[in-house]
Amino acid sequence: MNRTILKIASICLLPLSLLASRQVLAVAHPYDYHADARMVHQNLGPVDKAYGYMNVITDTNGNGIINVMFSNGSQLNWARFNARVKFLDATGAVVKEEYFDHRIAAADNEGAVERKVTKPLAVSNFDSIQVDFFLTD
């Protein structure tokens, strides 16, 4: 009887200890996340033909990269394209924040001007990702 109670108690405590250590709440690796948005300027509002795209890719060990691509097909010249990538835990608290920016010339006769910025992923224990794309002067 005592052994049965001990087994039941240990079976119940294992999930609770994993939950408390947040291992159950983190994303499963490999992980692949994509986000895109039309760029918005603080004073001008949404800018036609100006876009941001971001993806996060991890391997089975949680190692990965963050790629952010910006495209300026507008006549807005040398604007700073920005992306703020927040890695959140299950409660919505920020675990890690990465910032990307790049100045981009206006579109020319050949079309949109594009840039890519890449950083290694510095965190593996996150539950979700939030991305903000915006333009500044």
Overall pTM > 0.85? no
The pair of three-digit structure tokens given for residue 62, joined into one six-digit string? 């949680």
pLDDT per position as a tens digit, 3-15: 554 444 444 444 4
Tell me the CA distances in angstroms from 124 to 39, 68, 94, one per residue in order: 28, 18, 13
pLDDT 10s digits, 73-130: 999 999 999 999 999 999 999 999 999 999 999 999 999 999 999 999 989 899 999 9
pLDDT at residue 15 in the model = 46
Q: 26-136 has which fold?
A: Immunoglobulin-like (2.60.40)
Where do the structural domains in the chain lie, given as residue ranges? 26-136
The vertex-45 CA angle with 80 and 99, nearest 5°, equals: 35
Confidence of residue 137 (pLDDT cuts 50, 70, 90): confident
